[in-house]
């Protein structure tokens, strides 16, 4: 590859960079396509295969078996380009998730139920994870990180739900606007926002900016959401009216559609809560017309999910070395953290859904989906590693937690909600009340679990 670069582009650094980036993208897409197809063959969502492909392209497999080849495909000057592309892709994907959410049709009390589900997903995971972190402080922590800072970082990581992954699973199964899907999406967004607020506090304490810096981040994030949902929403209404009149998204409309999430992501990155939330809120601010949302989705989703998201998974995988988990103490730590995260999120959300009036099948299905952590925990722990809050060993453990909890989501979901019941959910209007489940169905899932 270096020889090809010298022949094709002597003295042209821009073309030399292109000739390094394009082969990296080819390798990423081929690996994502193969692993995504394998994931579908074993009844897993394609996105899990794409995430595993990213890890395999890192030092765990590709770098361990063929270090020279990996260095040639992913040289140092290519990685910043991959970071930029992955950030753009994740921001646009979450924008499409927010735009596709049918937030105009509301069930009475939906906000209260979503908040209840969110609390049940955060609090048990946070407390159990913090307890596990406090117990493992001397085993996995850095010497300059205090016990409770370390403990709450672990708890915060375990309290996350893989919001983009959850959204993609629901989209693939046609459940994004079902009562179950809407409640899960809103609750997951609350869970992740709470975890990012906690990370802001921990980062401020670790970096020495104090609680004042964390409070600034939280206040600015709330102000941003208010401005987007109250002011920008009104400014974008003419976009919906123009689409209703013409039936198409013209060039001017597409400029606006792309500029709004990228600008929102830039602002939230500056605030300190990551561009993904800016993209999601920008999606919520889009016109609510179902035909507009469908047109937006059809124009953008394929390119974003096929080209840009695999780049993000690979960029994360390049920082992941699972070979660091060796020895009895680290394996025991992995089991403790895995158990804390699984019990807190899965059972906490399932019991909460049951208390909200859903049947046991729907309750365990949502518990399984909310327990997946893949994408968001990767972002969370990458920030922790970059800021020196966690060790490489804890990073590797939490990557495994992400893979295992995400891989278990679909089998547990299908066990709780077989296809015949899932079809009922997909066809159920968003304005329906939570379904009640006959006693024999409840007993069946209790016995299966």
Under 8 Å between Cβ of 92 and 261: yes
Under 8 Å between Cβ of 26 and 20: no
* Residue 336: per-residue pLDDT: 92
Decide if pLDDT at 160 tops 80: yes
pLDDT one-digit tens code per residue, 163-179:
767 776 777 677 767 77
Using the Cα atoms of residue 381, residue 384, residue 386 and residue 390 in order, give the sign of their dihedral: negative
pLDDT one-digit tens code per residue, 70-128:
999 999 899 899 989 988 988 898 788 778 765 554 566 667 888 888 888 889 999 99
Mean per-residue pLDDT over the chain, rounded: 81
* Residue 107: per-residue pLDDT: 60
Over residues 329-352, the mean pLDDT reads 89
pLDDT one-digit tens code per residue, 228-274:
999 999 999 988 888 888 888 888 889 999 999 999 999 988 887 77
Q: Which of 175-189, 234-248, 332-346 has the lowest mean pLDDT?
A: 175-189
**How much is the pTM?**
0.75
Q: What is the CA radius of gyration of the chain?
A: 22
* Residue 35: per-residue pLDDT: 93
* Residue 22: per-residue pLDDT: 94
pLDDT one-digit tens code per residue, 277-307:
788 889 889 988 888 888 888 888 888 888 8
Over residues 441-445, the mean pLDDT reads 32
* Residue 33: per-residue pLDDT: 94
Under 8 Å between Cβ of 275 and 265: yes
* Residue 242: per-residue pLDDT: 87
* Residue 440: per-residue pLDDT: 36
* Residue 423: per-residue pLDDT: 64
Nearest to 19 by CA among 10, 11, 29, 9: 9
Over residues 398-426, the mean pLDDT reads 80
| Tokens 């049709």 sit on residue | 105
More confident residue, 444 or 392: 392
More confident residue, 357 or 311: 311
Percent of the chain whose predicted confidence (pLDDT) is above 90: 18
Domains belonging to the chain, first-starting first, are 2-79 (no CATH), 84-303+326-448 (1.20.1530.20)
Decide if pLDDT at 29 tops 90: yes
What is the DSSP track for 83-145? HHHHHHHHHHHHHHHHHHS-TTS--TTHHHHHHHHHHHHHHHHHHHHHHHHHHTHHHH--TTS
- Residue 26's pLDDT band (cuts 50, 70, 90): very high
State the helix-helix crossing angle for 237-246 and 251-271, rounded to 10 degrees: 150
């Amino acid at each position: 590859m270096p020889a090809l670069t010298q022949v094709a582009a002597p003295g042209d650094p821009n073309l030399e960079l292109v000739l390094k980036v394009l082969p990296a993208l080819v390798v990423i897409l081929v690996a994502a396509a193969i692993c995504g197809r394998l994931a579908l063959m074993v009844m897993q969502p394609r996105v899990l295969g794409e995430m595993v492909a990213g890890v395999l392209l890192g030092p765990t497999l590709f770098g361990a078996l063929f270090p020279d080849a990996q260095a040639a495909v992913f040289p140092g000057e290519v990685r910043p380009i991959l970071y930029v592309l992955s950030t753009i892709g994740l921001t646009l994907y979450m924008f499409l998730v927010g735009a596709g959410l049918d937030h105009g049709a509301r069930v009475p009390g939906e906000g209260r139920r979503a908040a209840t589900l969110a609390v049940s997903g955060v609090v048990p995971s946070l407390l159990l994870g913090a307890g596990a972190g406090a117990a493992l402080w001397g085993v996995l922590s850095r010497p300059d990180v205090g016990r409770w800072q370390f403990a709450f970082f672990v708890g915060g990581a375990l309290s996350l739900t893989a919001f983009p992954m959850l959204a993609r699973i629901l989209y693939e199964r046609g459940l994004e606007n079902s009562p179950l899907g809407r409640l899960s999406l809103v609750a997951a967004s609350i869970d992740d926002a709470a975890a990012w607020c906690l990370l802001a506090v921990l980062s401020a304490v670790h970096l020495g900016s104090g609680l004042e810096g964390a409070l600034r981040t939280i206040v600015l994030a709330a102000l941003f959401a208010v401005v987007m949902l109250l002011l920008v929403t009104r400014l974008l209404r003419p976009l919906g009216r123009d689409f209703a009149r013409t039936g198409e998204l013209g060039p001017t409309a597409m400029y606006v559609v792309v500029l709004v999430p990228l600008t929102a992501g830039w602002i939230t990155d500056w605030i300190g809560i990551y561009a993904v939330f800016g993209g999601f809120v920008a999606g919520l601010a889009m016109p609510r017309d179902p035909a507009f949302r469908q047109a937006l989705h059809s124009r953008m989703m394929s390119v974003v999910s096929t080209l840009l998201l695999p780049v993000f998974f690979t960029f994360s995988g390049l920082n992941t070395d699972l070979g660091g988990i060796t020895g009895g103490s680290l394996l025991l730590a992995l089991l403790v953290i895995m158990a804390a995260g699984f019990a807190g999120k899965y059972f906490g959300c399932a019991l909460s859904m049951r208390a909200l009036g859903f049947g046991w099948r729907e309750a365990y299905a949502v518990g399984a989906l909310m327990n997946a952590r893949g994408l968001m925990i990767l972002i969370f722990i990458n920030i922790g590693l970059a800021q020196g809050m966690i060790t490489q060993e804890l990073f590797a453990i939490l990557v495994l937690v992400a893979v295992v909890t995400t891989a278990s989501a679909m089998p547990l979901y299908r066990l709780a909600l077989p296809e015949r019941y899932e079809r009922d959910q997909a066809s159920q209007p968003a304005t329906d009340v939570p379904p009640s489940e006959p006693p024999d169905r409840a007993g069946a899932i209790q016995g299966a679990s």
